Amino acid sequence: MRYELYYWPSIQGRGEFVRLALEQAGADYRDVARGSGTPGMERMLSWHSATPPFAPPFLKAGKLVIGQTANILLYLGEHHALAPRTEAGRLWTHQIQLTIADLVGEVHDGHHPISGSLYYADQKAAARKRTHALLTERVPKFLRYFEAILHANRSPHGAFLVGRRVSYADLSLFQVVDGLCYAFPKASAHYRKKSPRVHALAKEVAARPRIAAYLASERRIAFNRDGIFRHYPELDQVIYAR
């Protein structure tokens, strides 16, 4: 079965978490809007299917149309061994993914604290305040959490978030680290010291053959100022007390 991924063709965005899982799975998929633009995607959003998504990304898998990033990963995790098969392992992986999703939402709202319909330039003052809280309180709290999970799960087989194999949550955590490094290079230099296991995992994920090939390919869209992780130098200015 050839999957069809529907997502905005010019950004990594939330679609990237799905792309990484599809790439690691070696799945056959078409990134629809990158080939034929967004009309097809917009048609799907307007009740073309019985289970229309609220927003991209969504995945067409045979007759299924699955929306919500974490839900798509839940599906791919089960079908491509990107999560444990046990109920406990499946729920735990999904729990971590939903926590990553919360962080991603907070990162987005750092540059759009008032409204997604306004330009960044029109909410710059609030963005500066929100990003300060994001970089000094929230990101460190999330990274401490992931660091602690990796610490608790350490094994001679490598350090994954769940069990002894790579899961979709590991791929997503790589994406978060990569995005933070792009958007906030100064803050990230600090985070790297504070959460070495998280950063080691990100490095390991990036080096996996299928992911490395993907990252080097044209399929990987470069980070830019339309996505979730955006580099505005004026937002990467915080003093770290510790």
Q: Residues in the site for a second copy, rule: CB under 8 A?
A: 47, 50-54, 63-64, 66-68, 70-71, 74-75, 87-88, 91-92, 94-95, 98-99, 102, 105, 109, 113-115, 117-118, 123, 126, 129-130, 133, 137, 142, 145, 148-149, 152
Structure token pair of residue 178: 């990569």
The stretches of 112-138 forming alpha helices (DSSP H) are: 124-133
CB of 151 to a second copy, least distance (A): 9
Count the alpha carbons within 13 Å of 207 in the hemisphere toward its beta carbon: 6
Distance CA 73, CA 80 (A): 10
CB of 116 to a second copy, least distance (A): 8
- Nearer residue to a second copy within complex by CB, 40 or 163: 163
User: What does the DSSP 8-state code read for residue 81?
Assistant: T
- Give yes or no for a contact between 213 and 26, defined as CB atoms under 8 angstroms apart: no
- Nearer residue to a second copy within complex by CB, 66 or 177: 66
Query: 3 pairs with which residues across the strands?
Result: 29
User: What does the DSSP 8-state code read for residue 210?
Assistant: H
Token pair 């990134």 is found at 31
- Give yes or no for a contact between 112 and 120, defined as CB atoms under 8 angstroms apart: yes
- Nearer residue to a second copy within complex by CB, 114 or 207: 114
CB of 229 to a second copy, least distance (A): 19
- Nearer residue to a second copy within complex by CB, 221 or 228: 228
Angstrom distances, CA of residue 134 to CA of 89, 107, 193: 30, 7, 18
- Nearer residue to a second copy within complex by CB, 45 or 215: 45
CB of 104 to a second copy, least distance (A): 11
CB of 13 to a second copy, least distance (A): 15
